Amino acid sequence: ITVLQPGDVIGINPKNFFEGSFKPIKRTADAECIGHVKALQISFSDTNKLFSQHPELEPIYVQKQKDIITNTFMSYLLDGAVVSSSVKEKISKHCDTVKLEKDEFLFRQGDDGEFAYFILDGDCEVLVTGKDTEIPQSVSTLSCGQVVGELAVIHDTKRNASIKAITSCELLRIPYREFRYLIKALPSAMKRIKKLRSFRIRPRMIDGIIMHKRLSYDGQEKVVLEHPESHQLIELPDDGNTFIQLL
């Protein structure tokens, strides 16, 4: 999922890096050498002692762990594409993580699209409230490794669905400006996002579907279908074989 370079930290689960003292846990991934490697090995007790005696090191460590999370996100999103260090630094500098308890909302339908998210741990439910009902309907479930809320950022629109945690969750939060910079700097990111979104929904045959045509961020004409009752928007990709739920 990622390649580590000299100066990177490895062996501490990055999803716990804001949680005070470090505790031994099971490894969550394999680390395999692809060349000659020399590394400094440090125990958990010595790590805790180091940070208690030298608090000035904490912001450096936090940034290193953010770099690892960002690398994981971009490696998954870009499916192995090469990313320049300047792009990584810009994204990592402005990202942070958010935690949700079960039944807590990440955002609600109608909110502004200020951030896109990448699920690091847990499951979330996608809820849509139709025009003629106040009861939200569950339309999809999102799990670890999926991007959430990116369409409102890409298309600069309001959220047209709510996201609620159905387990305890942790997500990487990418600000509006940095996410739009990422997809413009790396066109392959947009293709990967479309591919990942195509698995979110399996639409049913219903009457009264409304068809819209609009221009995408890169100036291409796209076909968008609108549900006649919930007014949920579904994008029809170029291949015509899959549907993409717009959040």
Rounded CA separation 100/87 (Å): 28
Say how far residue 39 (Cα) sits from the centre of its chain.
30
Do residues 229 and 139 lie in contact, with contact meaning Cβ atoms separated by under 8 Å?
no
Residue 99 pLDDT: 92
Calculate helix-pair angle for 187-197, 176-185, nearest 10 degrees.
110
SS3 category, 53: helix
**Amino acid (1-letter code) at residue 34:** I
Residues present in the chain in total: 247
Q: What pLDDT, on a 0 to 100 scale, did the predictor assign at position 8?
A: 76
The pLDDT, as a whole number, for residue 208 is 72
pLDDT at 197: 63
Buried-state track 124-159, b at ≥16 Cβ within 10 A, e below 16: bbbbbbeeeeeebeebbebeeebbbbbbbbbbeeeb
Q: Which amino acid belongs to residue 43?
A: S
- Per-10-residue mean pLDDT of the chain, 247 residues long, equals 76 52 66 90 81 82 73 70 74 86 94 92 88 78 85 87 93 91 79 64 57 69 73 61 43
Burial 10-23 (b: 16+ CB within 10 A, else e): eebbbbebeeeebe
DSSP assignment string, 156-182? T-B-SSEEEESS-EEEEEEEHHHHHHH
Strands across the sheet containing 221-226: 210-215, 221-226, 233-236, 244-245
Own/partner pairs for 33-41, CB < 8 Å, 24+ apart? 34/3, 39/10
Cα(189)–Cα(78) distance, integer angstroms: 5
